[in-house]
Structure 1
Amino acid sequence: MKKKGTILTMLSSITFGFAFTLGPMTYGAEGSNPVTLTFLRNFLSLPFLLVIILLLKIDLKITKKQLRDLVILGFIGNAITTLMLNMAFAYIDVGIVTPIHFTYPIFVTLGCVIFFHEKLSKQKVLALIVAMSGISCFFLSALNSASMGSSTVLGLILAIASGVFYAFYIIFMDKSGLKGESPFKITFYVAVASSIGMFIYGMITNQLVLSSLTSKAWTISAIFAFLCTVVALSLLQIGIKHIGASEASVISTFEPITSVIFGSLLLGEKITSIKVIACILIFAGVLTLSLSKSES
């Protein structure tokens, strides 16, 4: 059963990594943009989630406090995280954005230390230094690049911001008590809140451009939502059931690696030596942090 859980969790990471390379394919000539993609990522996932909830006979009842927490989680934690990611994809390679985003365990640790006074062990300090060194490599690469511009730096900042907001998502999920509910139930309400939030934001800013999307953009957006919501999330939940959350979090660090590989295969992104070094440092830092948590 442990082998099955490990394989399923790894397949979940590969699916997430592959799905993230699809987003940028809807930009430009296909008519989409980060705001539209973020809205569709959540809105198109609702039918899939509803089918899963009905099949599993999950009770959708929630309290007033849970409704408030889910709105906060959906808009601030999920919608802004996804929007930052999708915006970063418009400026820099997926193979750079995803590894930087995946430093969120570092920000979770920092958030818990700063706001909840949790202890910071020597192993965690080492993990922070190693992972931050990896992020620094990306910035140094951008600064030394002849083609470097303000858009490159903005992309790097957005990638880091996506990790910070996702860290908020995880901390808020933990401290609010929502983690005790069914993952699919939480994901459904988070998707609803995110869809409403992004629809309002898109209408106000005139960035929700559904009418200009090509059939290819609609198809890719639907596949993106399906892979993230049904395939990857379901595999992850089953994997956690068999091997536990701590071990699953360690295996999930394969996600940024798959993003780098698929970014190269599907989007023609270059795998440079500095990118490889940065990915190794980030991977080592996050892995060290995950192992320290699983041992504590």
Structure 2
Amino acid sequence: MPVYYYILLLSTSFLWAGNFIAGKYLVGYASPLVLTELRWVIALIALLPFILLKEKTLKFPKKALFPLIGMGLTGIVLFNLFMYLALTYTTADNVGLISTLNPIAIALLSFLFFKEKLSAQKYIAILISLIGIMIVLSHGDLQKLIQLKFNVGDIYMMIAVVCWGLYSILGKVAMRTVSPFLSTFWSGMFGVIMIVPFIVKDLEITNPPPSFWVAALYTGVGATVLGMVFWNIGVKNVGSTTAGMFLNFNPIFTAALAYYFLGERMGVAQWIGAIIVIIGVYLFTNEKLLSRLNLVGNKVVEKVPQ
């Protein structure tokens, strides 16, 4: 049965990689908040029949109210706002790569809010991942690293990662009493409501071609409804940390799609940084790796003649 959930999480990574590509295209026609609202209005309309068919109700327990509102603020409003801002200023490749830090953000925030312990291996993995991210953000330019001169779009995506971490741990709380479908629906609904006051006087989409609406439908139905439901089902059944491991595929899928649709190419420094980040995240999510290596090492030592 776990294989089924792993397939769902791998599909989530592919769908979200496609979202970065579609988002890079959409930011040329509307503001980040308008795009977020459009994405989630489409998503809620598409999600409603599934809710009514599977859940038979839209009700949720009162104790889930504040976690769902928090999910709406962090995962719907703030994450999408900073993601679209990031795509305005940096490449889809970089956005996809930085998103691999999500499992680390989830675990660090779980440590801060739920006192979940971090092992020595996790601290080492965090350090490795941060080194990789610094290489990516500076494009291997030591001078930029020393002077802390980074692309503002990359910084926006780092903030988006923190927002996603908050969304995920709030989702863990909400889904103690609410299904993945309902948590996705109501977090989206609360997020849409929160955005309305900020766009009501500036609801503008500049000369959108038919391809704009195709991309918008993809972000709303594919990347949002299917992606978010797959993610929530995965988190509920295998845990947020294990689910986060599958986000390591984001940069791989994003790089392939960005090359095909946008003509983007990652430089040597970005590839080196990407490999280091993925190694760090893999170490972070594979808690028993070092202990296994130590065990193997001890067995080898025992076999050496004295």
- Provide the residue aligned with 2:263 in structure 1: 268
Give me the whole-angstrom Cα distance separating, in 1, the residues matched to 2:24 and 2:76. Answer: 19
Correspondence list, 1:146-157, <5 A: 153-157=151-155
Which residue identity does 1:256 align to in structure 2? P
- Percent identity for Structure 1 against Structure 2: 26
CA RMSD of aligned residues (A): 3.0
Which residue identity does 2:179 align to in structure 1? S
- Provide the residue aligned with 2:17 in structure 1: 17
8 Å contact from structure 1 (residues 78, 166) kept in 2: no
Give me the whole-angstrom Cα distance separating, in 1, the residues matched to 2:217 and 2:245. Answer: 29
8 Å contact from structure 2 (residues 68, 170) kept in 1: no
Give TM-score, length-normalised by structure 2: 0.82
After superposition, the Cα gap between the structure-2 partners of 1:98 and 1:122, relative to the gap in structure 1 and judged at 3 Å, is same
Which residue identity does 1:23 align to in structure 2? G
- Provide the residue aligned with 1:54 in structure 2: 52
- Provide the residue aligned with 2:99 in structure 1: 101
Unaligned runs of at least 5 residues, structure 2: 291-306
Give me the whole-angstrom Cα distance separating, in 1, the residues matched to 2:10 and 2:66. Answer: 34
8 Å contact from structure 1 (residues 13, 255) kept in 2: yes
Q: Alignment partner for residue 280 of structure 1, among 271, 275, 285?
A: 275
State the 1:103 CA deviation.
0.5
Which residue identity does 2:26 align to in structure 1? T
Give me the whole-angstrom Cα distance separating, in 1, the residues matched to 2:288 and 2:186. Answer: 29
8 Å contact from structure 1 (residues 26, 216) kept in 2: no
8 Å contact from structure 2 (residues 111, 118) kept in 1: yes
Q: Does 1:198 align with 2:163?
A: no
State the 1:27 CA deviation.
3.0
8 Å contact from structure 2 (residues 80, 160) kept in 1: yes
1:135-185 per-residue CA deviation (whole Å, 9 max, x = no partner) reads 111222175699xxx9962111101000111111122233x4444421110
8 Å contact from structure 1 (residues 142, 152) kept in 2: no
8 Å contact from structure 2 (residues 136, 273) kept in 1: yes
State the 1:188 CA deviation.
0.5
State the 1:62 CA deviation.
2.2
- Provide the residue aligned with 1:224 in structure 2: 219
Give me the whole-angstrom Cα distance separating, in 2, the residues matched to 1:50 and 1:116. Answer: 32
Unaligned runs of at least 5 residues, structure 1: none
Q: Does 1:244 align with 2:244?
A: no
Give me the whole-angstrom Cα distance separating, in 1, the residues matched to 2:226 and 2:67. Answer: 26
State the 1:253 CA deviation.
2.0
Q: Alignment partner for residue 180 of structure 2, among 173, 178, 183?
A: 183
Give me the whole-angstrom Cα distance separating, in 2, the residues matched to 1:76 and 1:249. Answer: 17
Q: 3-state SS of the aligned residue for 1:268?
A: coil
Q: 3-state SS of the aligned residue for 2:261?
A: helix
8 Å contact from structure 1 (residues 98, 159) kept in 2: no
Q: Looking at both structures, which has the greater relative contact order when contacts are Cα pairs under 8 Å and sequence separation is at least 6?
A: 1
